[in-house]
Chains A and B, each alone.
Chain A
Amino acid sequence: MNEKITIALAGNPNSGKTTIFNNLTGARQHVGNYPGVTVERKEGRLKFKNFDIDVVDLPGTYSLTAYSPDEVVARKVIIEEKPDVLVNVVDASNLERNLYLTTQLKELGVPVVIAMNMADMAEAQGIKFDYQLLSQLLGVEIVRTVGTKKQGIDELLEAVIKVARRKSDLPEKQVKYSSEVEEEIKKIEALLNEDTSVTHEAAASLEGIMSSRDNCLKRWLAIKLLENDKDVIGTVKSQSGAKQVLEQLAKSQEQLKKISGEDTEMLIVDGRYAFIRGACQESTTFTEEDRLSMTEKIDKVLINRLLGLPIFLGIMWLLFQLTFTLGGPPMEWLDAGFGALGEWAAVHMQEGLAQSLIVDGIIGGVGGVVVFLPNIILLFMGIAFLEGSGYMARAAFVMDKLMHKVGLHGKSFIPMLIGFGCTIQAIMATRTLENDRDRLLTMLIAPLMSCGARLPVYTLLIAAFFHESVAGNILFSIYLIGIALAIIMAKVFRKWLLPGESEPFVMELPAYRLPTIKSVLIHMWERSWLYLKKAGTIILAASIIIWTLFTFPIIDPQGNEFESANVQMEQSYAGRIGKAIEPVIAPLGFDWKTGVALVAGFAAKEVVVSTMGTLYSIEDEDALAEEEEGSVKSFADRTREKSGYTPLVAYVLMLFTLIYVPCMATIAVLKRETNGWKWPMFTIGYTCALAWVVCFIVYRGGLLLGIGV
C-alpha cells in the first residue's frame, strides 16, 4: 500500500505557482469551484516513490486576511482540510514580499516547505542566496526550483516527504513581534488558555485543529484578534466566555496604540516585515547594484507615456483578429460539418418527430455551442499568453483611468472589447479580474457590447428600411447606444447593486517572461473543456425546450396537419407566447410575430432573422444565409412589404435585439462563472426591462417627433 500525503500549494500571484502545479500533476487536474464563492479550486494527484500525493492549488494571495474571498478560502483550506505539508512557492527575485505570506502560513502551524522558484532569474539579476542559512533563520526547508525548466521538482517532493514524516531537524521559528506586542499576545493567549471552551469552540467552528497544534492555534487566534480580523472576531464572539477575551483585546489594542501611536494591525504587519528583512539581509547578497533589468527595458517602450496606449490598442487588435478572423474558417467548417451531419441524419431517419428532435433540436443546439470552440480556444491561447508573459497587468495599468471613471477596473477592458465578438468569450475572459465585485459587474454589462451574432439582424433590417447613405450611421448608432448603456448600467450597478468602498487598486507589475507552451496549452484546454462541459449540458436542455415550443402542437385541434409552416408556427406554443406577450410589446410598436421572433432569439440572436422569415413567409432563407447581395436585397424588400414595419419600428427592433436577454449560451456560461442561477436570472430580468424602457422612449419619442414613421 502506498502512503498517502496531502499537500497544498500556496504562494503569491505571479510566483510561478501554477507552473509548479502543472509540473507536479501534469494533465491529471481537476478544476471546480469552492462552495458559495466564485473562487476556483484546482486539484491534482501524483505518484512519487511509494507515495500517493494529492495536491490542492490554493488561490494565489499576498496575505491571509479576511478582506478578500481568495484569502479567506486559502486559509480555510489550510485550517479545515489540514494538508500534511504546505508547499509555499516563492518568487526568488522578489523574496521579501513573497516571504510575507510565508510568515503567515507558518503561524497556522502547518509544516511548510519553500520552493524558491524562478531562482534562475534571481541569479541572473545578481542575487545570491545562502539556502542553508535562510532555512535555519526561517525554520523551513527550502528547495531551489525553476518551474519553467522543471528543475528541482524531485528535490521538492523529497523535502515534502521528509517534512511529512517529521524528519526535518530545523529549529522551530516564528515571527517575534516587538516586546510590547508579544506581551499583549501572551495576555490574550492566557485567557484562551484559561477558558479553553473559547479556544476549542472557535477551533471547532473555524477549523477543528488537531490537539498537537493547540499551542500554535492559540497564538494564531490571539494574533488574528489583535489584527482585528473580522472573521475570527465574529467566531470568537459567538462562544461562551468571549466577553473576557474581547475586553482584554480592547485593552491591549488601546495600550499598544498609546505606546506606539499605531493601530495594532499595522504593528503586526510591520513586525512580520522586520523579521523577514532581518532574515533576508543575512542570507542574501547582491553582486550587482541597480542594473536596469530586462523588464524595465521592455517597459520603457511598452508602457511609455506616448506609445503605451497605441501599443495596447495594437495588441488588442491582434487578440481580436486572432480570435475572430483566424477562428472564422474553422468555425465555418464546424458549422458546415454540423449542417452535413443534420442532413445525413435527416436522410437516414424516418421523417417525424424523432427526426426533427435530433436534427433541429439536438444537432442544431449542440452544434450551436461547438461552433464557438475555435474562437474560445484561440482567445484563451491569446489570454494565456498575455497573462503568462506579464502584459495583462500592463494592459490594466494603461486602461485603468478610463475604466475607473465608470466604476470598473483596468482589467475590465479586455472582456468588454471581446464582447463585440461574442458575449460568451467576454464573460469567460472576466476570469482575469481578481476582485469578485469588479468581475461580476463586468459580466453583467458585457452583454450590452453588441456581439457578432446580432449583426445579421441589423444588416437585414437596415437593408430593408434605410437608405444606403445612412446605413453606416444607423449601424454605428446601435453600437454606440450599447456602449453608452453599458457605461450607465455600470454606474447604476456600482451605486445600487454592488455598493461599498471601491477596491483599492494595488497591483503588481510582474517581471516579463516567456510563458511555457505547456502552461498555455493547459490553460487553453481547461477553459475550452469547462465551456463544453458546463455550458453544453445547459444548452442542450435549452435547445430541446425551444425546439418543443416551436414544434408542438404538430396538429390542429381537428387533428389535421397545418397547411403551412407559418400557420404551424402561429399555433405552436412559441406562437402562443408571442401572442401572450403582445400586449407588453405593443407599446413598442411590435406585433405578436415580432414577439415570436424575439422568443426564438433567445436560442441565438441571429435566429431572429430566420424566424421572421418563416413567420412572414419570406422564403429564400438559404439565399440569405449565403449572403449574396441580390438575395439579401430581395429578402429585405419582402421583409419590408410583408412585415409592415415603419423604419422607426425597425430601428426599435434593432435596439431591442441589442439589449434584451443575451442568448442562452451566454446565460449558461454566466451560470457556470457565477456559480449559481441568481446572476443569470438577474441578467435576463434587467436586460429585458432595460430593452423595454429604452425602446419605449425611442419609439414614443420617434412618434412624437414624427421621425421614421
Chain B
Amino acid sequence: MENGNLKNLEPGQKAKIAKISGTSSIKRRIMDMGLVPGAEIEMERYAPLGDPVEIKLKGYHLSLRKEEAENIVIE
C-alpha cells in the first residue's frame, strides 16, 4: 500500500504507522502515547463536528486533532 496520512483514514480502516513528522515537541507528545513507527492503528470515528478523530491502538482509545493526525504517515 502506498504511504498515506492518518488524517485521511476512513472509520473502520486499519493501518500501520510508517513515520512521524512535525516539530519535536509535537512529535514527542505523539510518540509518548505509543504512536511509534510499526504500531498498528484503527480509525474509530470522527467527532460530531468532523474534528478531532478517534483512533484505537495498543488496546486503547486516543483522540487527536486532524492537524496532529497530519503528522502521522501510514503505510
A300→B3 CA distance, assembly (Å): 29
**8 Å CB interface, B16-69 against A:** 20, 23-34, 36-37, 39, 44-52, 54, 58-65, 68
Chain B interface size band reads 35 or more
Tell me whether A269 and B48 are in contact (CB under 8 A): no
Instruction: Fill in one digit per residue for A298-337: 1 if any B CB lies within 8 Å of its CB, else 0.
Output: 0100011110110000000000000000000000000000
Instruction: Fill in one digit per residue for A504-539: 1 if any B CB lies within 8 Å of its CB, else 0.
Output: 111111110000000000000000000000000000
Residues of A within 8 A of B59 (CB): 93-94, 96
- A266: interface (CB < 8 Å): yes
Knowing A96-B58, A269-B36, A308-B48, say if A506 contacts B64 (CB, 8 Å): yes
From A266, A393, A410, name the one whose CB has the most chain B CB atoms within 10 angstroms.
A266
Knowing A96-B34, A273-B36, say if A397 contacts B60 (CB, 8 Å): no
Knowing A303-B48, A401-B47, say if A97 contacts B58 (CB, 8 Å): yes
From B20, B25, B30, B48, name the one whose CB has the most chain A CB atoms within 10 angstroms.
B48
**How many chain A residues have a CB neighbour from B under 8 Å?**
41
Knowing A400-B52, A400-B65, A507-B64, say if A94 contacts B58 (CB, 8 Å): yes
Knowing A94-B60, A263-B24, A303-B45, say if A506 contacts B29 (CB, 8 Å): yes
Residues of A within 8 A of B46 (CB): 305
Knowing A65-B32, A93-B59, A273-B34, say if A398 contacts B48 (CB, 8 Å): yes
Tell me whether A509 and B33 are in contact (CB under 8 A): no
Knowing A273-B36, A506-B62, A508-B60, say if A401 contacts B50 (CB, 8 Å): yes
Tell me whether B30 and A270 are in contact (CB under 8 A): no
Tell me whether A509 and B30 are in contact (CB under 8 A): no
**8 Å CB interface, A100-115 against B:** 100
Residues of B within 8 A of A176 (CB): none
- A172: interface (CB < 8 Å): no
Residues of A within 8 A of B33 (CB): 62, 97, 506, 508
Residues of A within 8 A of B54 (CB): 303, 397, 509
Residues of A within 8 A of B29 (CB): 67, 504, 506
Q: How far is the CB of A355 from chain B (nearest CB, A)?
A: 58
**8 Å CB interface, A223-268 against B:** 228, 263, 265-266
Residues of B within 8 A of A76 (CB): none
Q: How far is the CB of A692 from chain B (nearest CB, A)?
A: 36
- A22: interface (CB < 8 Å): no
Knowing A100-B34, A306-B48, A401-B52, say if A509 contacts B28 (CB, 8 Å): no
Tell me whether B51 and A401 are in contact (CB under 8 A): yes
Tell me whether A305 and B48 are in contact (CB under 8 A): yes
Tell me whether A308 and B47 are in contact (CB under 8 A): yes
- A63: interface (CB < 8 Å): yes
Q: How far is the CB of A68 from chain B (nearest CB, A)?
A: 9
Tell me whether B30 and A507 are in contact (CB under 8 A): no
- A295: interface (CB < 8 Å): yes
Q: How far is the CB of A408 from chain B (nearest CB, A)?
A: 13
Q: How far is the CB of B73 from chain A (nearest CB, A)?
A: 13
Residues of A within 8 A of B37 (CB): 270
Residues of A within 8 A of B23 (CB): 501
- A642: interface (CB < 8 Å): no
Tell me whether A504 and B26 are in contact (CB under 8 A): yes
A65→B39 CA distance, assembly (Å): 21
Tell me whether B68 and A505 are in contact (CB under 8 A): yes
- A31: interface (CB < 8 Å): no
Checking B51, B61, B68 against A506 with a beta-carbon cut-off of 8 angstroms, the contacting residue is: B68
Residues of A within 8 A of B51 (CB): 400-401, 404
A404→B52 CA distance, assembly (Å): 10
Tell me whether B20 and A266 are in contact (CB under 8 A): yes
Knowing A265-B28, A509-B62, say if A504 contacts B68 (CB, 8 Å): yes
- A204: interface (CB < 8 Å): no
A510→B28 CA distance, assembly (Å): 21
- Return the chain B residue nearest A295 by Cβ: B61
Knowing A97-B33, A398-B48, say if A505 contacts B25 (CB, 8 Å): no
A504→B27 CA distance, assembly (Å): 9
A469→B3 CA distance, assembly (Å): 63
Tell me whether B48 and A63 are in contact (CB under 8 A): no
Residues of A within 8 A of B34 (CB): 96-97, 100, 273
Q: How far is the CB of A228 from chain B (nearest CB, A)?
A: 7
Residues of A within 8 A of B49 (CB): 309, 398, 401-402
Q: How far is the CB of A665 from chain B (nearest CB, A)?
A: 35
- Return the chain B residue nearest A127 by Cβ: B59
A303→B11 CA distance, assembly (Å): 14
Residues of B within 8 A of A270 (CB): 31, 36-37
Tell me whether B47 and A303 are in contact (CB under 8 A): yes
Checking A398, A404, A501, A508 against B25 with a beta-carbon cut-off of 8 angstroms, the contacting residue is: A501
Residues of B within 8 A of A504 (CB): 25-26, 29-30, 64-65, 68
- Return the chain B residue nearest A67 by Cβ: B25
Q: Which 7 pairs of residues, A with B, have the shortest CB-CB distance?
A: A308-B48, A401-B49, A509-B61, A63-B32, A505-B65, A97-B34, A94-B60
Known: A501-B25, A508-B63. 9 other contacts (CB 8 A): A63-B28, A67-B28, A94-B58, A94-B59, A97-B60, A228-B24, A303-B47, A505-B68, A511-B60
Please name 20 pairs of A and B residues whose Cβ atoms are closer than 8 Å in the assembled complex, sorted by A: A62-B33, A63-B28, A63-B32, A67-B29, A97-B34, A228-B24, A263-B24, A269-B36, A299-B44, A299-B45, A305-B45, A397-B54, A397-B63, A400-B51, A400-B52, A505-B68, A506-B30, A506-B33, A506-B68, A508-B61
